[in-house]
């Protein structure tokens, strides 16, 4: 079943306020709802480039890549660049392979012109994770921050998992913790993406 694609931010906040524990972080005045810009290919290139790097370092390397490609990052242009030349920009061996995998996927006209809004969250995760180097977490970030899908719960993200654990004073670990977090988040449907955004935003307040 295709998920809800658009929603009212105010309606989402009012729904989440029914959870009196989550309410503690819903009144943050500096919360800003933003979406990433560009098409999915561009967003994924930036995402792969930024993986496991500080914001400053990631921005530096991404800007080097932009300049190296004459500010025109296209699948074919990226594929035309040898592995070693991309490595010299500060990218690891694995990241160069992943960038080429993303470019290979989107070099297909069918994938480049795909109507992602016509697909369910599950279908998008399945298709994006077929690309080497793209995991479930990365696909979920695309869903939340680019496609504006309202009901994604990225429990593989430690900030989300630990945020729920600390906010709700959970004592469990691993599988049981995952199950308890999932159960708590059931009341957030169909706005689990919005709740997750608040958990990320409030991480310094609730992560012990």
| Domain at 9-35+152-206: CATH code | 1.10.1670.40
d(CA 68, CA 155): 36
Q: What is the pLDDT of residue 205?
A: 83
Instruction: Round to whole Å and give the CA distance between 183 and 174.
Output: 14
Calpha distance 191→55 (Å, rounded): 27
Catalytic residue status for 204: no
pTM (two decimals): 0.90
> How far is the C-alpha of 199 from the C-alpha of 208, rounded, in Å?
13
CATH class of 40-145: mainly alpha
Peptide bond into 190 cis (omega under 30): yes
pLDDT by residue, tens only, the chain of 208 residues = 344 445 689 999 999 999 999 999 998 878 989 999 889 999 999 999 998 899 999 999 999 999 999 999 999 999 999 999 999 999 999 999 999 999 999 999 999 999 999 999 999 999 999 999 999 999 999 999 999 999 999 999 999 999 999 999 999 999 999 999 999 999 999 999 999 999 999 998 876 5
Measured at the CA of 144, the angle between CA 142 and CA 148, to 5 degrees, comes to: 105
Q: How distant is the alpha carbon of residue 156 from its chain centre?
A: 11
Question: How many residues in total does the chain contain?
Answer: 208
> Domain segments of the chain: what residues?
9-35+152-206, 40-145
Q: Choose, from 19, 115, 151, 157, the residue flagged as catalytic.
A: 157
């Amino acid at each position: 079943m295709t998920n809800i694609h658009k929603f009212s931010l105010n309606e989402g906040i009012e729904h989440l306020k029914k959870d009196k524990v989550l309410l503690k972080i819903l009144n943050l005045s500096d919360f800003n709802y933003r979406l990433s810009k560009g098409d999915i290919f561009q967003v994924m290139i930036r995402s792969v480039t930024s993986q496991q790097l500080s914001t400053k370092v990631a921005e530096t390397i991404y800007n080097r890549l932009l300049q190296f490609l004459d500010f025109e990052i296209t699948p074919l242009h990226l594929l035309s660049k040898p592995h070693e030349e991309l490595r010299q920009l500060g990218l690891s061996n694995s990241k160069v392979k992943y960038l080429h995998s993303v470019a290979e996927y989107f070099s297909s006209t069918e994938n480049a012109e795909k109507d992602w809004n016509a697909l369910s969250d599950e279908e998008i995760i399945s298709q994006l994770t077929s690309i080497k180097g793209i995991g479930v977490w990365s696909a979920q970030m695309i869903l939340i921050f680019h496609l504006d899908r309202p009901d994604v719960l990225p429990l593989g993200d430690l900030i989300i998992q630990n945020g729920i654990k600390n906010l709700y004073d959970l004592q469990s670990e691993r599988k049981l913790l995952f199950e308890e977090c999932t159960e708590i988040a059931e009341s957030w449907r169909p706005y689990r993406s919005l709740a997750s955004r608040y958990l990320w935003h409030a991480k310094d307040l609730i992560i012990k």
